[in-house]
Amino acid sequence: MKNLVKYMVVITVISVFTGCKSELKEKNSTETTTEVQAVENTNLNADISKTALLNNFIDSYLVLKNALVNDSEKEAAEAAKLMIIAIDNFDKRLLTDAEKTLFLEIEGTSKEHAEHIVKSDLNHQREHFQLLSEDLIELVDILGTTKTFYSVYCPMYKKKGAFWLSEIQEIKNPYFGSKMLTCGEVKSQIN
């Protein structure tokens, strides 16, 4: 009888221990799943925020491009001011180390080109727009985008040609404006 009582106590202890262990595993599994979901949501939010920041940069670039298409020195200067703000407000903490390295390289030169555009005449604005376009195309290439853009090439600019980003397929040349509005060709679609 004593042995039977001991046996029952041992079985009860084992059952309680096993039950607690199962509850602990379920709790840990639930906590781990919740932590993984939180990390995934954080990464998704970072990607969305990174895209929004890049879109601010691109949107100000497109305003600049369209001002140059319209031969408007004043509008180009205003758009360049918007670009400077977009560059300054870009949260680099959202970038991976490789993306941050690239952005830091592009950030300084892009800001410098935008500052020159703010205070220059139309021809000089276009020279800096060319260099700014190279930077932005590289940045979009690395960071990606949720929008569709076109990489457009004008073979006539400065006798060696130049690229720009456009939100439309129709050729509207920012390097020559009204002088040669349709000079160029779409080289690729970016999205």
Residue whose tokens read 């779409």: 186
Residue 47: pLDDT band by 50, 70, 90 thresholds? low
The Cα–Cα gap between 60 and 79 comes to 6
The Cα–Cα gap between 191 and 186 comes to 14
Note the pLDDT of residue 146.
85
pTM for this structure? 0.74
Mean pLDDT score, 145-165: 95
What are φ and ψ of residue 162, in 5° steps? -160, 150
Residue 54: pLDDT band by 50, 70, 90 thresholds? confident
The Cα–Cα gap between 99 and 136 comes to 13
In the β-sheet with 162-166, what is the strand arrangement from edge to edge? 162-166, 149-154, 185-190
Note the pLDDT of residue 4.
41
List of E strands, the chain? 149-154, 162-166, 185-190
Note the pLDDT of residue 167.
96
Q: What is the pLDDT of residues 4-24, one digit of tens each?
A: 444 444 444 444 444 444 444
**Residues 6 or more apart in contact with residue 77 via CB below 8 angstroms:** 117, 118, 119, 120, 125
Mean pLDDT score, 168-179: 98
Q: What is the CATH number of domain 2-146?
A: 1.20.120
For residue 69, how many C-alpha atoms fall within 13 Å in the half-sphere facing its CB? 19
Of the two residues 135 and 6, the one the predictor is more confident about is 135
